[in-house]
Amino acid sequence: FIPTLKTLIGDSNLTRGIVGLTLPFAVPVYPKKIDGVETTVIGRSSPKSWLEDATAEGLAPQRDWQTADVTMTGPYDLIATSKGLLPSHFDSAKKSEKEARVFVVGSSTMVNEQVLGPPNAALFLNLVDWMVLDPKLLAMRNRGAGEAPFAPDLADGTRNGIKLGLTIGVPAL
């Protein structure tokens, strides 16, 4: 119930270098298509994800996962951004005068102090910089965000060989 996004979608200053984002009790977001508004999904669950009913049985921590009937139905969009001339919620004939920016995360606890590690903090601060249209701050912050993991499609033997080479080979040299 606490998905960890290994990588974010896209190679912008908003997402570059951020790995291991934690989204406790996340729900999918379903962005609407609106003329004149550019919507981008930047976080998505894996294809091995599924949705659970918000019932006591579905969310029981003592649930027997060995016998649980789970059907993988993912991926699901979990984080999305939108920018453009957004329509008014109260009067659909009116639009914002200048470009507006909005982001939606499917977990309100992304910035909770219990899960606010470096990846979550970096993404949140990047999103704030993106909303205030400050690309210079956005470009600076990503430097210490984290290291990218090995490619997920890398063979186990190759991955272990690289790890062994970096752990033993480099110090031996």
- pLDDT at 44 > cutoff 50: yes
Tokens of 52: 């659970």
Mean pLDDT of the chain: 84
CA distances, 15 to each of 48, 58, 89, 119, 126 (Å): 22, 32, 29, 10, 8
Q: What is the pLDDT of residues 45-97, one digit of tens each?
A: 988 888 887 777 777 778 787 787 888 888 999 999 999 998 888 988 899 98
Residues 106 and 23 sit within 8 Å (Cβ to Cβ): yes
- pLDDT at 141 > cutoff 60: no
Of 23, 25, 75, nearest to 45 by C-alpha is: 75
Mean pLDDT of 128-149: 66
